[in-house]
Amino acid sequence: MVDNQLFCSYTEEWLPREGKDRSTLKQIGWQNESAQQAECCAPDECWSGSECLHNQAKLPDEASVHKQWRCIDGEWRNYAELKYSWDQALWGFCPKTSQCLINPAGNADNNDKPEAYFSDKPPQCIADGTYILDHFCDNGNWTTRSRVIALQLISLAEQQGASDYTVFCDSYQRVLNNYQYLVKGVYAEDYLQDRCTINNVDVPCVNNFCVVKFGSSVVFGVSLNQDIDARPHSFLDMLGLESCPVGRLAPCDSTSRVWYDPELRLVFHSDSAISLKQIGREQLRQGFLSRIFAWMRDMIMDVLRIGPVSEIGASEDYQFIDKTRGFRSLYIDNAGSRNIQGFTENLYDESSQSLKEYMTIRYTGFTTDICSLANARRQNSCYEDMGRQYVVASRPEGASNAMFESWLDVTSKLRVVR
């Protein structure tokens, strides 16, 4: 019960309103017997045990209450962990645990509108299953559409019974062997270099490419930043197709050489007919992490355990491996007992308060002294132990570093005998 100046408190006494809305009974969200269990607050506020807390729905960078509780539109919601932007530079909270953080200083009215990222009012958070350029929101965690493609290609190779295969993800200049051919009088590279427009902002029409090689088969995949048939930069032209049915992941024509996933705008092209199966979201999380990033985590832990930190680098330099869910470049070569697993990634470094580039590569089963090659290019960048050789490197974004400039030499240009 309220009047203009007083309200009836949960403590069974009349207290001054002090100009505040005290019309709704609110209860504490967690167990705390020593705290006052309820009080009258505004409809969009929450009771913390000692005060009415304002609505935090549009304040993603404001600290949580009592460990991980936040007041969202008048209800306590339990948040198990902070959200981070895709480069780890920003942190905050989102209204839903399944959302991914863009910028805590963004516009909450544009939440779940990824296209608004390319405006003067970018969202704070976007929804699960949506994306911005290559960055993909997977149930509250950032990954990349390139990661989805890589898993799809690995799955294809394994469906064909291939245990030996190579997967390479990087820029089209590094991944594709030939992009100087003509399509309807236009060089293929012109399509790859095209800029598309989102909210009047120019962005690349395509992101990085991934390719898998197994047996005599070669299949590439790429994510698009517009629909496959959007004009004037239609990717269909590059593929020599007139149209592609819109639905779930399906072949574009009867040859089954080109497949398209319109939901994520993923294109797959093979030199022969293929059959792709939709990658489930759980498979995306568990399958890829267990096959790729678990290898990387193990590798870093191995390096830091077996090598003197002063030689290999400070352990905090490689804590990024526990944060990353995507990659800028990826290389995997499985050839019997010999394999190469490596990736590069850009992440925010708290100590320098700037972006850093990281590289990790593990070589297993090689008798060639790869470390001599690596250390000749940059001292103390490689370590060997029990048949495995490890390359680890980091640098401020864009800074000169011989190992990063040798990425192709120490991955895709190495010839693994099968």
The helix/strand/coil state of 394 is strand
CA distance 395 to 115: 32
Residue 317 has a pLDDT of 42
Burial 325-346 (b: 16+ CB within 10 A, else e): bbbbbbbbbbbeebbbbbbbbb
Residue 320 has a pLDDT of 45
Residue 226 has a pLDDT of 95
**Model confidence pLDDT, tens digit, residues 139-173:** 999 989 998 999 899 999 989 999 899 999 999 99
Contact 170, 211 (CB under 8 A): no
Domain ranges for the chain? 6-77, 83-127
Strands (E), 185-314: 186-187, 195-198, 201-204, 206-214, 217-224, 250-251, 258-261, 266-270
Tell me what the mean pLDDT of segment 299-307 comes to. Answer: 50
In the chain, % helix, strand, coil (3-state, to 5) comes to 20, 35, 45
Residue 247 buriedness (CB in 10 A; 0-12 / 13-18 / 19+): exposed
Tell me what the mean pLDDT of segment 384-402 comes to. Answer: 85
Beta-bridge mates of residue 329: 344
- The owner of tokens 């680098």 is 313
Given a cut of 80, whether residue 324 has pLDDT beyond it is: no
Bridge pairing between strands 217-224 and 266-270 = antiparallel
Q: Fill in the amino acid letter for 85.
A: S
pLDDT category of residue 282 using cuts at 50, 70 and 90: confident
User: How many of the other CB atoms lie within 10 Å of CB of 150?
Assistant: 25
146 φ, ψ to 5°?
A: -60, -35
